[in-house]
Chain A
């Protein structure tokens, strides 16, 4: 039986792991390679690395980090942050990343999704969508959730799926950093609407929140950062809890 995935997200700045609370305040949580290995050994199903300082001159540093991670761990991982061209993707996949994720660049130039999917296959193209509810309507936001767009989240999700995205990483900016639970409603809406997997992100605070996002939220995977980095929820305990709640989980 296909299992629900638990995905720790490692925010990377200058080669170190950080986690922003609401993406503004940053705390240092260690060496990414070491942390990746720990998560992989603890039973994380996949990892996401988000380079929050990704600039052109940092690209090489990121590729070097990706190679170190690929050599160290035996589970799949996705790399995102500042990726905008087919060439960016090629460098990271060749360095050993299994998937890449794009966000702002896809909003700016949606054709790039088609180009990347055609060149490398949909399976390695994750489109990250940051959503915020404004007066009852869900709008896509870019630049770490700071910049609103006129795109409605549901319509954009449908479009990226049609353009060849292999998965959607949906982050609710309203829930991110709150620890009050995932945005189950919009996650379910999008998961139900699309034929590709949806990774829910933003708002995890306790183990029940994961159960809720897999049941009510219809998520295929759930992503979180600080609660894992600061050992508030150990992954083995979380998986044991979810198994006990009849959620299909890899043991």
Chain B
């Protein structure tokens, strides 16, 4: 099985590769369109700012390729947000795979909720084989200030300030806001499930 991790200037790319290695998978780190197109699975990690990331994807023509991919695709962290329609972060139009909007956390009382949302929070209302073997007591590691709104594509929710989409799925596209590569055994299970879809 050929797993491609999209090469991209994000700090967590290396960590994703290490997490895959711990599962015995040697992924290819690439921004080559052909190599990504022929991979069996594609992982799109992200960290950073939405408009800069979209500019990079356009430069590499990845913005045209990604929405048309037919193999299982996994967007992680900013990767989830970029698969959406639009992000409030610098008013950025995104890839539009999910007809979902990305919004900023605006707590009514900043003493109760700090932004970014940093730390371990649980997933609930789990659906689909991606989350097989996990319960509502599954904690994953989050670091983000923007979130994907709940929609019919939500396959797991998390609550912080409000309920938001922890994971999403539409056809072959899967996405997760938290960092599976840093989420202990739960994250490992999600990556393993993705690889065996």
Q: Does B120 contact A (CB under 8 A)?
A: yes
Task: Kindly state the separation between the CA atoms of A192 and B113 in the bound complex, as whole angstroms.
Answer: 10
SS of A interface (majority): loop
* Interface of chain B residues 30 through 60 with chain A (CB within 8 A): 47-49
What residue of chain B has the Cβ atom nearest to residue A124's Cβ? B11
Complex contacts, A93 vs chain B, CB 8 Å: 11
A142-179 Cβ-contact flags toward B at 8 Å (1 or 0): 00000000000000000000000011000000000000
Please tell me if the beta carbons of B118 and A123 are within 8 angstroms of each other in the complex: yes
Task: For the complex, give the distance between the alpha carbons of A5 and B119 in Å.
Answer: 7
CA distance A142 to B90 in the complex (A): 37
CB–CB B120/A250 < 8 A: yes
* Contact, CB under 8 Å: A75 / B141: yes
Contact at B118–A220, with CB atoms within 8 Å?
yes
Within 8 A of A (CB), among B127-145: 137, 139, 141-144
Are A3 and B15 CB-contacts (below 8 A) given A75-B182, A98-B182, A196-B114?
no
Q: Of residues 72 to 99 in A, which have CB atoms within 8 Å of B's CB atoms?
A: 74-76, 93-96, 98
B184 near A121 (CB under 8 angstroms)?
Answer: no
Q: How many residues of B contact A (CB 8 A)?
A: 38
From known contacts A2-B160, A45-B119, A197-B118, infer whether A251 and B139 are also in contact, taking CB-CB under 8 Å: yes
Judge if A70 is at the interface, Cβ distance under 8 Å: yes
CB distance from A63 to the nearest CB of B (A): 12
- Report Cα–Cα, A167/B119, bound state, in Å: 11
Closest residue of chain A to B188 (Cβ to Cβ) is A74
Are A70 and B11 in contact, with the CB atoms below 8 A? no
- Tell me if A74 and B120 are in contact (CB < 8 A): no
Report yes or no: A123 in contact with B183, Cβ–Cβ below 8 A. Answer: no
Select one of B114, B141, B142, B181 contacting A195, CB under 8 A: B114
A221 within 8 A of B: yes
- Contact flags (1/0) for A39-65 with B, using CB distance below 8 Å? 010000100000000000000000000
Partner-B contacts on A (CB < 8 A) = 1-5, 40, 45, 70-71, 74-76, 93-96, 98, 120-124, 166-167, 192, 194-197, 220-221, 250-251
- Between A and B, 27 residue pairs with Cβ closer than 8 Å are A3-B119, A3-B120, A3-B121, A5-B120, A70-B15, A75-B141, A75-B183, A76-B141, A76-B143, A76-B179, A76-B182, A94-B11, A96-B15, A96-B18, A98-B12, A98-B15, A122-B116, A123-B47, A123-B144, A124-B11, A166-B118, A194-B114, A195-B110, A196-B116, A197-B118, A250-B139, A251-B137
